[in-house]
Every structure is written in structure tokens, then in C-alpha cells.
């Protein structure tokens, strides 16, 4: 037998409301739909909750709705250069998920590109000082690293950020 109201009562299941007895109590008290928040529930627990709800539904002889709230993307802002940013009306602001790009966009960092397609004895000698022969590679220079901090051939975010910190003379 269905309830004769147009409004549906939604109850969110959580640690205090996930037992069979509590689900049945909530249903008998008027809940029509049970919400499972996938931000805080794994798939095995979700299957267990669906099974429990269906058991209560069968025992009570009345349909119960299940709403599975899927986890969306988690977007979080990182750190600001001076702990905050003042944005003027109409000013462009770019949100970027790549901390390396953000660090390279810093006004104190200048990215430089070299032409590795032409042979140059100076470049060859320079590569040899780092044990490289004909393989282009990246070096980060800064006040604390006038001779440069060579980056590994396989770049990682951590390697680039560590080299930028080292070249700037920062410890953290």
C-alpha cells in the first residue's frame, strides 16, 4: 500500500542509521527514500545497504526508494603566493590544477628554451658536465643554484617543484 502524499521524505543513511532496525524505524516513521552518500560509502557497504533496504521493503509490503548520491569531482584551491589573492572586478583569474605550471607562472621564474636541433660545442660540453650526451634535459637555475639543478630524464611534479625550491634557496 502506497502513502497518499505528494511529498517524499528522504533519509540519509550514515553510521548511526545503517542498521536494519534503524532503517525499518525510519521507514515506519515516514521516510520514503533512503539516500546513500557515495562520498562516504564504499561499493560493498552500498550493496549491503541496498540489500537491507530491500529486505525492509519486502517485510513492510510497501515500495522504498533508494537514492545513490554519486561522488563528484573534488575541487580545492591550493595555496596562494601571499596567503591570499585580491581580485579586482573584471580581472582574469586562472584556476590551474598543475602546481608546476603555477610555480613557473611566478614572476620570479623565467622559463627558457634552447634549440637542441643545431650542434653546438658549448652545449655538448655543458651536457657532458652532467653526464649527458646529446640528450636534451632541463636545468633549474636560481640564486641558490647558479650552476643549476639538473632534473631527471623522467620528469615528475615532485622533481620539478623540489628543483625550483632548491634553486630559490627555500627549504620547504
Give residue-wise pLDDT tens across range 18-57: 999 999 999 999 999 999 999 889 999 999 999 999 999 9
User: Do you know the residue count of the chain?
Assistant: 172
- pLDDT (average), residues 137-150: 81
| pLDDT at residue 122 tops 70 | yes
Q: The C-alpha cell of 90 is what?
A: 573584471
| pLDDT at residue 166 tops 80 | yes
Against a cut of 0.85, is the pTM above it?
A: no
Angle formed at CA 113 by CA 140 and CA 98, multiple of 5 degrees: 65
- pLDDT (average), residues 109-135: 64
**Three-class HEC string of the chain:** CCCCCCCCCEEEECHHHCCHHHHHHHHHCCCCEEEEECCCCCHHHHHHHHHHHHHHHHHHCCCCEEEEECCCCCCCCCCCCCCCCCCCCCCCCCCCCCHHHHHHCCCCCCCCCCCCCCCCHHHHHHHHHCCCCCCCCCEEEECCEEEEEECCCCCCHHHHHHHHHHHHCCCC
Task: Output the pLDDT for position 168.
Answer: 84
Task: Output the pLDDT for position 123.
Answer: 67
Angle formed at CA 161 by CA 130 and CA 72, multiple of 5 degrees: 140
Task: Output the pLDDT for position 83.
Answer: 74
Q: Is 112 exposed, middle or buried (0-12, 13-18, 19+ CB in 10 A)?
A: exposed
Q: How confident is the model at residue 96 (pLDDT cuts 50, 70, 90)?
A: low
| pLDDT at residue 134 tops 60 | no
Q: The C-alpha cell of 24 is what?
A: 525499518
Amino acid at each position: 500500500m502506497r502513502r497518499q502524499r505528494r511529498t517524499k521524505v528522504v533519509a540519509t543513511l550514515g553510521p548511526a542509521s545503517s542498521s536494519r532496525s534503524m532503517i525499518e524505524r525510519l521507514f515506519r516513521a515516514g521516510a520514503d527514500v533512503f539516500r546513500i552518500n557515495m562520498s562516504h560509502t564504499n561499493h560493498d557497504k552500498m550493496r549491503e545497504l541496498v540489500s537491507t533496504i530491500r529486505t525492509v521493503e519486502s517485510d513492510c509490503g510497501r515500495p522504498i526508494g533508494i537514492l545513490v548520491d554519486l561522488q563528484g569531482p573534488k575541487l580545492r584551491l591550493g595555496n596562494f603566493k601571499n596567503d591570499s589573492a585580491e581580485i579586482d572586478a573584471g580581472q582574469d583569474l586562472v584556476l590551474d590544477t598543475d602546481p608546476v605550471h603555477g610555480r613557473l607562472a611566478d614572476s620570479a621564474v623565467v622559463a627558457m628554451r634552447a634549440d637542441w636541433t643545431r650542434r653546438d660545442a658549448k652545449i655538448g660540453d655543458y651536457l657532458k658536465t652532467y653526464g649527458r650526451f646529446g640528450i636534451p634535459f632541463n636545468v633549474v637555475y636560481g640564486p641558490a643554484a647558479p650552476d643549476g639543478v639538473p632534473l631527471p630524464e623522467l620528469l615528475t611534479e615532485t622533481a620539478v617543484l623540489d628543483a625550483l625550491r632548491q634553486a630559490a634557496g627555500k627549504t620547504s
